[in-house]
Amino acid sequence: MLLKKAFLLLLSFYLTLITATPINAQVNSTQFNNDDTLRGTLNKDRSWWNVLRYQLTIEPDFLNKEIKGSNIIHFAPAGKSTASVMQIDLQSPLKIDSVIYHDKSVSYNKKGMHAWLIELGKRKRNETDSIVVYYSGKPKVAKNPPWDGGWIFTYDKKGRPWMTVACQGLGASVWYPCKDHQSDEPDKGASIKVITADSLQVVANGKREAIEKLSGGKSATTWSVTNPINNYNIVPYIGKYSNWEDRYKSKTGKTLDLSYWVLDYNIEKATPQFNRDTKRMLEAFEYWFGPYPFQEDGFKLVESPHLGMEHQSAIAYGNGFSNGYRGRDLSGTGWGKDWDYIIIHESGHEWFANNITTNDIADMWVHEGFTMYSEVLFIDYHYGKKAADAYCQGIRTKIRNDRPIIGQYGVNNEGSGDMYNKGAGMLHHIRTMLNNDSLFREIFLGLNRDFYHRTVDTKEIEDYFIKKTDLPLQPVFNQYLRATKIPVLEYSYNQGQLRYRFTNCDKDFSMPVRLGDQDQFNIICTTEWKQIEIPASVFVNTISDNYYFTKKRVEL
């Protein structure tokens, strides 16, 4: 009890010293231009209005690799602004053909490579409103989706057209006109009508509302989402699909509609794979994160020509109906072989990326780090804590520490790809610091409850963890999110005296560390030498390997 009281006093002392601003944070040295700022910043032509709903109509031309369509953008003024110039984003070489506002054509001009300024003229204050943007052209074609994305025009194995889009990071404006900033999701969702040959099926987000037969052997299929959705998640899939349905009974008592769409010749391979891992995923994630956050829109897995993507309520799947990541265990431990990586990972994004979305792409670690950690929690739920520990330690070996995992704000810049493995490793590190899995689970449940259908900044996530854990976590967040050095715990041990400090880190770095198999001792370790009298039986080699730092013995 005395040790615990002393530990709490130390924690209280350090909490009073810690600020949220990192002193030696490293930054990305990439050079940015005005186009990056137009895309990444909520300037005066974007901040005065809020998106309510998108109504998309799109007709792709497969042979010519072109698209044409329209977007009815429903919006509401933010506050009492009388501004009348609206920035709409549409990436070259696509172009706006016309804009209709209150049944009249209005003028517009292009600013930079991808921004368009719409002149609305006189409008009423505080009035819910809408414009219609007509557009056409050749969209950027994806070279290596989903990493180098764009519109995908390809053929299935039987030589039939197969089309979709992958545009995370690149932006939804690569294929439709919108307010292409993550902070402004359409509050009332979106609909997408796709016109294509009636021999093909169209799948998209949410629920299917209608299929209309058109002349010339075409049809128009409309899907609709009722929940808020981030722009890059709104995606159509067009191909020769077969479909089956299922249902999942939640612990809340609600029944979730499940829908699976694969190319017609893959249905026998897909059925056992999808049926098995979807329900295992939902069971584990409902335990750790809470109920599926888009109940009204259902859950779908849709076969795609690329590996995968977290398209809300319509997850893109291209993992070949096999376990692991394209048949491999990314952790190298053996614990990644018994489940389908894409089903688990991309579905984890329904909670982290889709339910909780970052305002700025610089904070994408909140999407990717938490979702990669969802793999660890899936293993924990189905295979146990030791298996989860091993898996997380395995994926940590892939971390490069090339640059910080938070990017630069306001210029549409992602941080390092380490946001996946390092983000997950940091969360497991914090879990080890906390040493209270009931509270740790409550934090994850609370995040999805308290930030339900919201956009957030890293600071909000940091503050939430600090408040709920009552731990001095700000130096940890600063070190692992904003810098690249991994702390080294230097120590010496002589005649019952343990001396210790952290090096290779920010000078203000500090954190509590637990010693001993039974956690008999807790120390606050900083960059200054400290010492404690401690038996050899609880020497430093009993520190958990789940901490993300290295240990080095030195002679003093």
Q: Strand pairing of 218-225 and 190-197?
A: antiparallel
Nearest to 195 by CA among 242, 163, 230, 243: 163
Q: Write down how long the chain is.
A: 556
Question: What is the arithmetic mean of pLDDT over 84-103?
Answer: 97
CA distances from 50 to 188, 227, 410 (A): 11, 15, 18
Phi/psi at 391 (5° precision): -60, -45
- For 139-190, what is each residue's pLDDT tens digit? 999 999 999 999 999 999 999 999 999 999 999 999 999 999 999 999 999 9
Could you tell me the sign of the dihedral formed by the alpha carbons of 148, 152, 158, 159, in that order? Answer: negative
Angle subtended at Cα 552 by Cα 550 and Cα 556, rounded to the nearest 5 degrees: 150
Which residues, 6+ apart, have CB-to-CB distance to 150 below 8 Å? Answer: 139, 140, 141, 142, 143, 165, 166, 167, 170, 174, 175
Residue 553 has pLDDT above 50, yes or no: yes
The CA distance from 166 to 144, in Å, is 10
Confidence of residue 539 (pLDDT cuts 50, 70, 90): confident
Q: What is the CATH number of domain 41-239?
A: 2.60.40.1730
Contact 99, 132 (CB under 8 A): yes
Contact 311, 235 (CB under 8 A): yes
Confidence of residue 22 (pLDDT cuts 50, 70, 90): very low
Phi/psi at 419 (5° precision): -55, -25
Residue 373 has pLDDT above 80, yes or no: yes
- Which pLDDT does position 464 carry in this prediction? 98
CA distances from 357 to 92, 348, 365 (A): 26, 13, 11
- For 232-276, what is each residue's pLDDT tens digit? 999 999 999 999 999 999 998 999 999 999 999 999 999 999 999
Residue 495 has pLDDT above 90, yes or no: no
Which residue ranges make up each domain of the chain?
41-239
Q: Coil, helix or strand for 501? A: strand
Count other Cβ atoms within 10 Å, centred on residue 235. Answer: 22
The CA distance from 391 to 525, in Å, is 27
- Which pLDDT does position 365 carry in this prediction? 98
